[in-house]
């Protein structure tokens, strides 16, 4: 057992059965700190939801703290399609400190190409080639790793990182043999899709071997049970905790918290109740628990799930259509029910499994309508069409010319930062609206331009169709 894991709510709690992983991280850290000319390192942890990836990354972070500059970011299920989201998050702490002049100096020749992707400079009118942007980002972070040596980059939930970030990360990790940085990645196996999955596989191949995190053994589960409930938890009870949770740490921790809440005696005669208690930790059980908190709280949680991963109470309140005080009360009840917690960036769900369960529980029509309202709220807040586009993509087609225009604007922004795939998604969605006849050919033409680099054959098809329609000359 390893002592000293920062647990939920800032308390320190032990991390069970991760000694080998932590020893490897310690070795990688010592190697990184030995001298500036050292090779970098790559650690990849893989495992199902709740197996303890985030907890392990927190420990790695703790090992690195005070010895290295640590930058951390994570993917999110609802923001997978936001280009450069994770790499921006990762580098933000360094980038926000720079004035425009310093930024120019920092990024050197790559300023015009990588600057817009990182969000530190306005895009020009050009459409940078994604490969050039990727090369630029690799170079910029390589420079960063020398300037801020020793540098540790941590990416959690990489299966949900945007494909633009993963493309960069794959290329960057392949350069680690001559870069003094330690990259630590955690992901769920088999969860990434499309291009992202391909890049993640490249990262896995570079890491060799990746570490598969294992469920806790019955002994460790018993240790965790007794550490939480007291030494008087008897062996059959502890064994049943393991049987019910399969040694999954998330399920075990949640189940034990519920045992505490219900003041169940941790002895053999209560063991039969564990299975029922466990049902409320995820899926339908969790949704039922949320519904028990009332319609206001549920609506507030829906708004947070739509806007997340992290959200301010104000924004969630405005989407849920409730006064700030009511929203604060809802947030408080969700905190007490261990559904949300206050993180660095605002209110967050305690675990992505909860986010998924809450998001999926929103009735379809309500979810679509809320995404529509979220898009306008994000646009109104001045964050640009690209930031709103992830919501617009979820709205049902409804012959709305304004929506088509917003999606075209978003596509233009995506193209200008070097994310043609994101532009393609916006324009394909705009076509489904469908656009009014007078702009239909233009949308097809823009789509043709967006796919030019990635899929020339598709481009020819779109351009042919556009040419066969009226309206391109406008």
Ligand X SMILES: Nc1ncnc2c1ncn2[C@@H]1O[C@H](COP(=O)(O)OP(=O)(O)O)[C@@H](O)[C@H]1O
Of residues 375-394, which lie at the interface with ligand X (CB under 6 A)? none
User: Within 119-248, where are the H helices?
Assistant: 130-147, 163-174, 194-207, 218-229, 235-245
Does position 7 interact with ligand X (CB under 6 A)? The reply is yes
Does position 341 interact with Mg ion (CB under 5 A)? The reply is no
CB 14 within 8 A of CB 2: yes
Q: Which residue, 164 or 254, is less far from ligand X as judged by CB?
A: 254
Q: Which residue, 46 or 412, is less far from ligand X as judged by CB?
A: 46
Does position 250 interact with ligand X (CB under 6 A)? The reply is yes
CB 151 within 8 A of CB 437: no
Does position 249 interact with ligand X (CB under 6 A)? The reply is yes
Q: Which residue, 113 or 213, is less far from Mg ion as judged by CB?
A: 213
Q: Which residue, 53 or 406, is less far from Mg ion as judged by CB?
A: 53
Does position 440 interact with ligand X (CB under 6 A)? The reply is no
Task: Candidates 247-255, 301-309, 403-411, 416-424: pick the segment binding ligand X (CB under 6 A).
Answer: 247-255
Residues 24, 26, 31, 54: which binds ligand X (CB under 6 A)?
54
Does position 53 interact with ligand X (CB under 6 A)? The reply is yes
Of residues 347-366, which lie at the interface with ligand X (CB under 6 A)? 351
Does position 309 interact with ligand X (CB under 6 A)? The reply is no
Residues 54, 312, 341, 455: which binds Mg ion (CB under 5 A)?
54
Q: Which two tokens stand for residue 435?
A: 């656009």
Q: Which residue, 354 or 407, is less far from ligand X as judged by CB?
A: 354
Task: Return phi, psi of residue 210, to 5°.
Answer: -85, 155
Q: Which two tokens stand for residue 371?
A: 């995404």
Does position 253 interact with ligand X (CB under 6 A)? The reply is yes
Angle of helix 384-392 versus helix 420-432 axis, rounded to 10: 50
Min CB(75)–Mg ion separation in Å: 10
Q: Which does 50 bind (CB under 5 to 8 A by kind): Mg ion, ligand X, none?
A: ligand X
Of residues 183-242, which lie at the interface with Mg ion (CB under 5 A)? none
In whole angstroms, give the CA distance from residue 188 to residue 75.
11
Q: Which residue, 16 or 300, is less far from ligand X as judged by CB?
A: 16
In whole angstroms, give the CA distance from residue 468 to residue 464.
6
> CA torsion sign, 368 to 370 to 376 to 379?
negative
Does position 159 interact with ligand X (CB under 6 A)? The reply is no
Task: Return phi, psi of residue 442, to 5°.
Answer: -65, -40
For 156: left if phi > 0, alpha if psi spans -120 to 50, otherwise beta; the answer is: beta
CB 184 within 8 A of CB 57: yes
Residue identified by tokens 């043999």 is 177
Min CB(463)–ligand X separation in Å: 45
In whole angstroms, give the CA distance from residue 218 to residue 275.
16
Residue nearest to Mg ion (CB): 54
- Burial of 169-181, coded b for 16+ CB within 10 Å and e otherwise, reads bbbbbebbeebbb
Does position 15 interact with ligand X (CB under 6 A)? The reply is yes
Interface residue list for Mg ion (CB under 5 A): 53-54
Interface residue list for ligand X (CB under 6 A): 7-8, 15-18, 47, 49-55, 224, 249-250, 253, 351
């Amino acid at each position: 057992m390893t002592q000293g894991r920062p647990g939920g709510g800032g308390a320190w709690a032990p991390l069970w059965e991760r000694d080998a992983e932590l020893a490897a991280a310690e070795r990688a850290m010592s190697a990184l700190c030995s001298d500036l000319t050292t090779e970098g390192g790559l650690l990849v942890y893989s495992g199902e939801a709740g197996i303890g990836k985030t907890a392990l990354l927190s420990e790695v972070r703790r090992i690195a703290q005070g010895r290295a500059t640590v930058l951390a970011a994570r993917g999110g299920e609802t923001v997978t399609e936001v280009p450069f989201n994770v790499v921006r998050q990762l580098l933000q702490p360094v980038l926000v400190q720079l004035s425009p002049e310093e930024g120019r100096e920092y990024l050197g020749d790559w300023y015009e190409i990588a600057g817009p992707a990182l969000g530190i400079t306005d895009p020009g009118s050009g459409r940078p080639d994604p490969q050039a942007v990727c090369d630029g980002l690799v170079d910029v972070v390589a420079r960063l790793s020398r300037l801020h040596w020793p540098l540790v980059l941590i990416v959690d939930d990489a299966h949900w990182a945007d494909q633009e970030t993963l493309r960069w990360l794959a290329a960057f990790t392949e350069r680690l043999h001559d870069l003094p940085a330690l990259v630590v990645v955690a992901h769920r196996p088999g969860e990434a899709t499309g291009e992202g999955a391909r890049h993640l596989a490249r990262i896995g191949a570079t890491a060799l071997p990746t570490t598969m995190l294992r469920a806790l053994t019955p002994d460790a589960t018993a240790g965790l049970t007794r550490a939480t409930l007291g030494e008087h938890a008897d062996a059959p009870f502890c064994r049943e905790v393991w049987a019910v949770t399969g040694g999954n740490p998330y399920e075990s921790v949640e189940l034990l918290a519920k045992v505490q809440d219900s003041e169940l005696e941790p002895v053999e005669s209560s063991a039969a109740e564990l299975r029922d208690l466990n049902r409320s930790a995820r899926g339908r059980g969790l949704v039922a628990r949320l519904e028990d908190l009332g319609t206001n709280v549920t609506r507030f949680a829906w708004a947070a799930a739509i806007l997340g991963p992290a959200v301010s109470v104000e924004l969630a309140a405005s989407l849920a259509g409730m006064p700030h005080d009511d929203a604060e009360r809802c947030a408080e009840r969700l905190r007490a029910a261990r559904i949300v917690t206050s993180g660095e960036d605002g209110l967050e769900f305690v675990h992505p499994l909860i986010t998924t369960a809450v998001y999926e529980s929103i009735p379809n029509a309500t979810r679509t309508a809320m995404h529509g309202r979220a898009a306008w709220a994000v646009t109104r807040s001045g964050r640009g069409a690209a930031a709103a586009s992830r919501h617009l993509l979820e709205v049902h087609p409804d012959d709305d010319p304004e929506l088509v225009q917003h999606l075209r604007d978003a596509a233009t922004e995506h193209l200008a930062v070097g994310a043609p795939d994101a532009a393609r998604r916006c324009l394909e969605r705009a076509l489904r609206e469908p656009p009014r006849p007078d702009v239909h050919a233009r949308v097809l033409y823009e789509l043709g331009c967006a796919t030019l680099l990635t899929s020339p054959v598709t481009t020819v098809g779109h351009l042919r169709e556009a040419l066969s329609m009226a309206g391109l000359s406008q």
